[in-house]
């Protein structure tokens, strides 16, 4: 019993000690590739690796649209059609799987990739694909052996800002209703239990009241800190950048963690050791209150003048 308890503490401590932060930054000089800056948080050392788009020759979309980092510290990414594996050690890309056009959401968690896509041939517009009532499919892909599992979705839900719990048993996403009518548009943050097939609404907002929980252009608007705690973004008032809340699925308790996000053009965040990570142009920083900022990484060259997004692993 004592040994099991100590082992759990050891595993937890390893999880809390994130080693690297992966930063994506497009090169101003090379449009046929994207760059990843990998910084070790313990040593403060960083390196830049170039991810070429040569593997995309002949595809409909010739650039990276979404990405994540697996348990092997390999970068997995998509062009909304196929999934690729990028090895930072040797700079090589390989194909994981193909034929998933059109990929709407893409999440990597440890050894698993979750993909939401819509392959309806008679639906062309991305918004129509995303907010379709019956065309969205969700699959689970094992990154080690490539096996796929279809996931049953509740009827008439659409998915934006997909995320996955630490144990891969629950997904969270924003379900948008009445997208074509701004007076009626509503956003619902849902959690769907993949094991018992139950769905739970965590929060909601109405566009007419300047409220929203996410949109398709954001890299992420939520983060699971463990199997029961979901940290998420919410915008509630005019002329405000929004705040970040924490919801406990066990107790149904909600609390405000960050009253005001410092970035107007908020696209992503990381929550780690009670600090939030954001970026402004070429600077990545952490903050606990949205006021005092500590620089984590700053681009020092003219090639990388803008940070796209970052992932902690």
Q: Are strands 253-258 and 270-272 parallel, antiparallel or unpaired?
A: unpaired
Instruction: Show Cβ contacts of residue 136 under 8 Å, excluding neighbours closer than 6 positions.
Output: 104, 116, 117, 118, 129, 130, 153, 157, 158, 159
C-alpha distances out from residue 128 to 118, 155, 180, 278, Å: 10, 17, 10, 31
Q: Are strands 20-25 and 309-312 parallel, antiparallel or unpaired?
A: antiparallel
CB-count burial class (<10 Å; 0-12, 13-18, 19+) for 118: buried
pTM, rounded to two decimals: 0.91
pLDDT tens by residue, 218-254: 999 999 999 999 999 999 888 889 999 999 999 999 9
CA-wise closest residue to 135 among 116, 111, 109: 116
Q: Token pair 């606990």 is at which residue?
A: 288
Residues 204 and 215 sit within 8 Å (Cβ to Cβ): no
pLDDT in tens, the chain (313 residues): 443 333 333 333 434 456 899 999 987 778 899 999 999 988 999 999 999 999 999 999 999 999 999 998 999 999 999 999 999 999 999 999 999 999 999 999 989 999 999 988 777 788 888 887 677 899 999 998 889 999 988 878 899 999 999 999 999 999 999 988 989 999 999 999 999 999 999 999 999 999 999 888 899 999 999 999 999 999 988 888 999 999 999 999 999 999 989 988 889 999 998 999 999 999 999 999 999 999 999 987 677 778 999 999 9
Distance CA(258)–CA(75), nearest Å, equals 30
């Amino acid at each position: 019993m004592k040994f099991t308890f100590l082992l759990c503490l050891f595993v937890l401590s390893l999880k809390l000690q994130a080693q690297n932060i992966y930063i994506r930054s497009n090169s101003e000089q090379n449009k046929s590739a994207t760059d990843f800056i990998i910084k070790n948080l313990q040593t403060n050392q960083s390196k830049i690796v170039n991810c070429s788009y040569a593997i995309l020759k002949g595809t409909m979309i010739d650039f990276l649209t979404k990405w994540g980092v697996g348990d092997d510290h390999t970068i997995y990414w998509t062009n909304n059609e196929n999934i690729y594996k990028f090895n930072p050690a040797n700079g090589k890309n390989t194909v994981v799987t193909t034929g998933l056009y059109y990929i709407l959401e893409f999440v990597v968690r440890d050894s698993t990739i979750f993909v939401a896509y819509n392959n309806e041939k008679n639906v062309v517009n991305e918004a129509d694909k995303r907010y379709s009532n019956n065309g969205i499919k969700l699959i689970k892909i094992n990154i080690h052996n490539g096996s796929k599992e279809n996931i049953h979705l509740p009827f008439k839900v659409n998915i934006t800002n997909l995320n996955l719990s630490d144990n891969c048993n629950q997904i969270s996403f924003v379900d948008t209703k009445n997208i074509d009518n701004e007076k009626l548009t509503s956003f619902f943050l849902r959690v769907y239990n993949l094991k018992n097939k139950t769905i739970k609404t965590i929060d909601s907002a109405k566009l007419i009241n300047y409220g929203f929980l996410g949109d398709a252009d954001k890299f992420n608007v939520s983060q699971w800190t463990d199997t029961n705690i979901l940290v998420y973004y919410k915008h509630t008032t005019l002329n405000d950048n929004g705040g970040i809340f924490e919801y406990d699925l066990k107790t149904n308790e909600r609390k405000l963690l960050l009253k005001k996000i410092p970035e107007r053009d908020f696209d992503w965040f990381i929550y780690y050791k009670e600090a939030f990570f954001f970026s402004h142009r070429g600077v990545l920083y952490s903050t606990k209150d949205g006021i005092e900022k500590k620089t984590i990484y700053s681009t020092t060259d003219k090639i990388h003048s803008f940070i796209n997004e970052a992932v902690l692993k």
